Structure 1
Amino acid sequence: MPHTADRLTALAEGMLGRPMPIRIRAWDGSEAGPPDGPTLVVRNRRALRRLLWKPGELGFARGWVSGDLDVDGDLYEALGRLTGVALHRDEPVPGAGRVPAGAVTAAARARLADRARRTAAALRPIGEALTLTGLPLPPPAPAEEVRRRHGMLHSLRRDQEAIRHHYDVGNDFYALILGPSMVYSCAYWDRPDATLEDAQRAKLDLICRKLALRPGMRLLDVGCGWGSMALHAAEHYGVQVVGITLSREQADLARKRVSEAGLTGRVEIRVQDYREHADGPYDAISSIGMAEHVGRVRYREYADTLYDLLRPGGRLLNHQISRRPAPDEEAYQVDEFIDRYVFPDGELAPLGSTVSVLEEAGFEVRDVQALREHYATTLRAWVANLEAAQPQAAKLTTMGRVRVWRLYMAASALSFEQNRIGVNQILAVKTPESGRSGMPPTRVL
């Protein structure tokens, strides 16, 4: 009779419709699959039950977070092999060109037909799967997963709960990952010997220069995090800053940092939703890694609100992760793992959609800078920090939370490297009726 690992490999290949790209080690110590590279460790039958009840990404995530699944070897290589299969089978090829008229409906039909074929293929070995899993009851989801949500999507209350799920897991935990900069967004690696701290400082300075900050100006930092942008702008550019966040833990540490820097009179940190902020006009607004939380249903409101808060001639720097356009945007669904474990209710939009909504709100978009490769490098630095401090991080939160962040950041690094997602700085101006934008005639910053 075949070893357990052989049976698992045959089962996986039957569901995938192609050879298993990674070696498997089962709970009985047996192994099967490619001899080179990393190994997927299936620690117990419960891991298989998770995959049986939630085939695909969410089942894998639950197995990983709970520790029922693990990787022996290079995590990046393992994820790269596994996502390579997923990309080949399910995802549109990046850069494949424009979708012809009528192709959306055809693509939707093709996806449904493919899903039906895959479902049938998955059902054929169901007897084998049940034999391997033992008692076929669904295991409970790990405690780190968000299951209950209150209120309408992107209401004030629900957005507050979502933000606190992600950010209020402990400032000390984030400090281990982010380092002294406490900047939780893509760094700007402007020289080969730069450290993470150097690159985050360069990113903050790049934004200040794009906004043309000068002493006496008023800056609103939307989604201010732990106050790093506000501190940099006030200290190095002499501006008055108001930073807003929905995370009380972030606000507490940001205020402490402001006080320690002697900038209390020049930086104010508030726990406040952008929709409730009415203290304009501002000379400039920075929104760094915040718009991903806004959602499609609120994005025009977000753009309108920021436009109204700026004075004529004021600038907005919108730093935001983007996704590739989907063949059928109405059928687009958020990533299940990210939605359940990392950023509840977060949504990514294509770059073109973001630019269009900003223009519809009245902004003149003057510059777009892609930083995709920079984010991959940033994420790898964060993963290295987390791995180096894993025991301490687990004491500060839970081992499940540590596993969530490690998987999320490593997988995200690969997504940026593979051009499945990007990140862009959009510089926009509230151009006055005179048409004088105040922008320099060249792109030298």
Structure 2
Amino acid sequence: MRDARGGHTPHTTQGVRSYYEAMTPAYLEGFGPVFQGSRPDSTEELLDYLADALDLEPGMRVLDAGCGVGGPAIGIAQRRDVRIDGMTLAQVQADLAQIRIAEAGLTNRVRVTQGDFATISELYPEPVFDRVMFLESLCHAEDYRIVLAGAYRALKQGGALYIKDFYAVDHRSRPAVQQAQAGDLAKLNALYHMQVPDLASLVDVVGELGFLIKFVRMPEFESTYRHWAKYEHVAQRSWNPTSGQPGEVIQGIELFCWKV
């Protein structure tokens, strides 16, 4: 289990980039353009949910940090009158996003570039965003604190951070399960270059950086793993945890907090 307060991970940014450069076609076949494992069956329902959860107002500027091929950014821009900047490590994803944005007629409101969200502070040295969102992308960060500190600085006063990702279920009261879970989490990282933290350490980092938490909750939709299972079939990468069902090893979480 990862401690979000520490900066050491078994994976690297370059490894994550290479992974997505190679696996994006399989993601598109398995998930469609919205690469989300914690989701309802309907992609339209998920996009409606995200647009509401972000608490957006007309004219806001949003950063989608780790935006994939732009699926959520396009979907949210179609639902709300906002401007969205997206960044992704993989050039293949940035190129596909540009095509999709043009096809959607959103080139004036959605922009995607290739970039590392660990460098948010360098790319956006001034506070220009009303929202910064991480949609199942923060789990790929080498250092949570560096990434989230950059997000804090890029947010306007009164802006908000939204994280939708996975965390490791706390099994400290069941040592035998916890030991088996550790192996499942190591396999998850080896397959997906993602290392999920315990919830308490993530909340601690967010609070330490000065964010005021509005809510921490499990997503309020009925989850399905159908899309993830399809991706695993296409990619020939099967996780198959042994310490319990996937939802007993990791769980989806939403966190929304203000910059005050």
- Work out whether residues 66 and 134 of structure 2, in 8 Å CA contact, stay in contact via their aligned partners in 1: yes
Conservation of the 8 A alpha-carbon contact between 1:372 and 1:423: no
TM-score by length of 2: 0.81
1:164 matches 2:12: no
8 Å CA contact 1:187–1:374 kept in 2: the answer is: no
Distance 2:44 2:30 in 1: 16
Matched, 1:416 2:246: yes
Deviation at 1:250, TM superposition (A): 1.0
Structure 2 residue aligned with 1:305: 150
Name the structure 2 match of 1:430. Answer: 259
Partner of 1:184: 35
* Cα distance in 2 for residues equivalent to 1:185 and 1:250: 15
The structure where strand makes up a greater share of residues is: 2
Bigger Rg over Cα: 1
| Counterpart for residue 287 of structure 1 | 134
Is this contact kept in 2: 1:287–1:317, CA < 8 A?
Answer: yes
- Give the Cα separation in 1 of the matches to 2:74 and 2:165: 21
Q: Is the Cα contact below 8 Å between 2:86 and 2:113 reproduced in 1?
A: yes
Task: Output the TM-score relative to the length of structure 1.
Answer: 0.49
Q: SS of the residue aligned with 1:312?
A: strand
Whether 1:316 aligns to 2:169 is no
Question: Within 5 A, what are the aligned runs for 1:221-240?
Answer: 221-240=64-83
Q: Deviations over 1:24-50 (max 9, x none)?
A: xxxxxxxxxxxxxxxxxxxxxxxxxxx
Which residue matches 2:196?
348
- Helix, strand or coil for the counterpart of 2:236? helix
Count the aligned residue pairs. Answer: 242
Given that residues 63 and 133 in structure 2 are in contact (C-alpha distance below 8 angstroms), is that contact kept between their aligned partners in structure 1? Answer: yes
The residue that corresponds to 2:218 in the other structure is 370
In the TM superposition, what whole-angstrom CA distance separates every residue of 1:366-410 from its partner, at most 9, and x where no partner exists?
Answer: 1122149955x2x234424765xxxxx5xxxxxxxx322xx12x5
Contact 1:187 1:202 in 2 (8 A): no
Higher relative CO (CA 8 A, sep ≥ 6), structure 1 or 2? 2
Q: Distance in 2 between matches of 1:309 and 1:220?
A: 9
Partner residue in 1 for 2:108: 265
Q: Which runs of 5+ in 1 are unaligned?
A: 1-151, 190-195, 388-392, 394-401, 432-445
Give the secondary structure class of the aligned counterpart of 1:214.
coil
Q: Which residue of 1 aligns with 2:205?
A: 357
- 2:185 match: 335
**4+ residue runs of structure 1 moved beyond 6 angstroms?**
none
Aligned with 1:221: secondary structure? strand
Q: Letter of the 2:226 partner, please give it.
A: R
What letter matches 1:403 in structure 2? Q
CA deviations over 1:98-121 (Å, ceiling 9, x no partner): xxxxxxxxxxxxxxxxxxxxxxxx
Provide the secondary structure at the position in 2 that maps to 1:284. Answer: strand
Between the two proteins, what is the percent identity of the paired residues?
Answer: 25
In the alignment, is the contact (CA less than 8 A) between 2:157 and 2:259 conserved in 1? Answer: yes
> Quick check: 1:187–1:203 contact (8 Å CA) kept in 2?
no
Which residue of structure 1 aligns with residue 3 of structure 2?
none
Tell me how far 1:153 sits from its aligned partner: 5.5
Deviation at 1:411, TM superposition (A): 4.1
Q: As a proportion of its length, which structure holds more helix?
A: 1
Q: In the aligned structure 2, how far is the partner of 1:309 from the partner of 1:333?
A: 37
3-state SS in 1 of match to 2:69: coil
Q: Mark the runs of 5 or more structure 2 residues left unpaired by the alignment.
A: 1-6
Q: Return the alpha-carbon distance in structure 1 between the equivalents of residues 228 and 139 of structure 2.
A: 20
Partner of 1:173: 26
Partner Cα distance (2:116, 2:197) in 1: 21
CA deviations over 1:204-259 (Å, ceiling 9, x no partner)? 22222222212211000000011012112222211111000101111111111001
State the distance in 2 between where 1:254 and 1:272 align: 13
Structure 1 residue 201: Cα displacement: 2.4
Q: How does 1:393-408 map to 2 (within 5 A)?
A: 393=234, 402-404=235-237, 407-408=238-239
